[in-house]
Chain A
Amino acid sequence: GDSVTQMEGPVTLSEEAFLTINCTYTATGYPSLFWYVQYPGEGLQLLLKATKADDKGSNKGFEATYRKETTSFHLEKGSVQVSDSAVYFCALSRSDPGGFKTIFGAGTRLFVKA
Chain B
Amino acid sequence: DTGVSQDPRHKITKRGQNVTFRCDPISEHNRLYWYRQTLGQGPEFLTYFQNEAQLEKSRLLSDRFSAERPKGSFSTLEIQRTEQGDSAMYLCASSIMGDTEAFFGQGTRLTVV
* Interface positions of A (Cβ within 8 A of B): 4, 31-32, 34, 36, 41-46, 49, 51, 89, 91, 93-95, 98, 100-107
Contact = CB atoms under 8 A, between A and B. Distances in A.
Given A43-B104, A43-B105, A45-B104, 13 more contacts: A4-B42, A32-B100, A32-B101, A34-B101, A43-B106, A49-B101, A93-B100, A93-B102, A95-B99, A98-B56, A100-B31, A102-B35, A106-B40
Interface of B: 6, 31, 33, 35, 40-45, 48, 56, 91, 93, 95, 98-107, 109
A95 B100 contact: yes
Given A106-B42, A107-B42, A101 B48 contact: yes
A46 B103 contact: yes
Interface centre among A44, A49, A98, A101 (most CB of B within 10 A): A101
A37 to B, nearest CB: 11
A100 to B, nearest CB: 7
Contact of A102 (B40, B45, B107): B45
Contact of A100 (B42, B100, B106): B100
Contacts, number: 61
B7 to A, nearest CB: 13
Contact of A94 (B35, B100, B101): B100
Nearest to B43: A104
Given A43-B105, A43-B106, A102 B93 contact: yes
B40 A107 contact: yes
Contacts of B105: 43
Contacts of B35: 102
Nearest to A49: B101
Contacts of B48: 100-101
A101 B45 contact: yes
